A and B are shown apart, each in its own frame.
Chain A
Amino acid sequence: AQSVTQPDIHITVSEGASLELRCNYSYGATPYLFWYVQSPGQGLQLLLKYFSGDTLVQGIKGFEAEFKRSQSSFNLRKPSVHWSDAAEYFCAVGRFTSGTYKYIFGTGTRLKVLA
């Protein structure tokens, strides 16, 4: 069965420091991978997506992610974190079936940014 693991429930970094959020997936075919961000009490905003091609994907707000098939990973990175990046981050795997993508979400990583 497909699954998504985000091993870090909470991460705290200082403003200006680099960030890496981990995501591992289990999926039998070529995965479609996504990162979303959720501010408290809000919906989810798409940061970036990987369907195929270049394994390093650029997203909004200065984020990037790298797909590594050999490690079944799709880690999210940012070189310098801003206080406004404090939020919860979700990794998802999309499986195309019955005419639509069905997502499997990880349980999320909550990011705290220290001033």
Chain B
Amino acid sequence: SQTIHQWPATLVQPVGSPLSLECTVEGTSNPNLYWYRQAAGRGLQLLFYSVGIGQISSEVPQNLSASRPQDRQFILSSKKLLLSDSGFYLCAWSVPQSEQYFGPGTRLTVT
């Protein structure tokens, strides 16, 4: 069966520091991958998605970037964190033309 992992589970970082969140999927090949951010009391906002290695689409202009160095690995990064980057970050995967399955999430607090 398929499994999706995210780490770290929680992270506290100072403003201006770099960020790297990792997401990996097991049990499937060539998945579509997604990064979402969930702010308190709000729904989920799609940040990036990828339909293949090296193929990244950005949904909103922001202080973040994404990369997909391997088929089942999706990384969310920032060079300098802002306070507004705090939130709950969720990675998801899907096979093409099907529903998405979410990871356990990373709670990021920027201080």
Size of the chain B interface, CB-CB below 8 angstroms = 24
What bracket does the count of chain A residues touching chain B fall in?
A: 20 to 34
Contact of A105 among B41, B44, B103 (CB under 8 A): B44
Known A42-B104, A44-B90; contact A101-B42, beta-carbon cutoff 8 A: no
| B43 and A108 form a contact (CB under 8 A) | yes
Known: A43-B103, A103-B100. A98 touches B51 (CB 8 A): yes
- A66 CB → nearest B CB, Å: 18
From A41, A44, A102, residue with most partner B Cβ within 10 Å: A44
* A94–B100 alpha-carbon span in the complex (Å): 10
A106 at the B interface (CB under 8 A)? yes
Contacting pair B99 A49 (CB below 8 A): yes
List B contacts of A84 (CB < 8 A): none
Contact of A101 among B99, B104, B105, B107 (CB under 8 A): B99
Chain B residues with CB under 8 Å of A46's CB are 99-101
Q: Is A28 an interface residue (CB 8 A)?
A: no
Q: How far is the CA of A36 from the CA of B49 in the complex (A)?
A: 19
Report the minimum CB–CB distance from B81 to chain A (whole Å). 21
Instruction: Give the A-binding residues of B (Cβ under 8 A).
Output: 32, 41-44, 46, 49, 51, 57, 59, 90, 92, 94, 96-105, 107
28 contacts between A and B (CB under 8 A): A4-B43, A36-B102, A41-B105, A41-B107, A42-B105, A43-B103, A43-B105, A44-B44, A44-B92, A45-B102, A49-B99, A90-B44, A94-B99, A96-B97, A98-B51, A99-B32, A99-B96, A100-B32, A100-B94, A100-B96, A101-B94, A101-B97, A101-B98, A102-B59, A103-B46, A103-B100, A107-B43, A108-B43
**A interface residues with partner B (beta carbon < 8 Å):** 4, 34, 36, 41-46, 49, 90, 94, 96, 98-103, 105-108
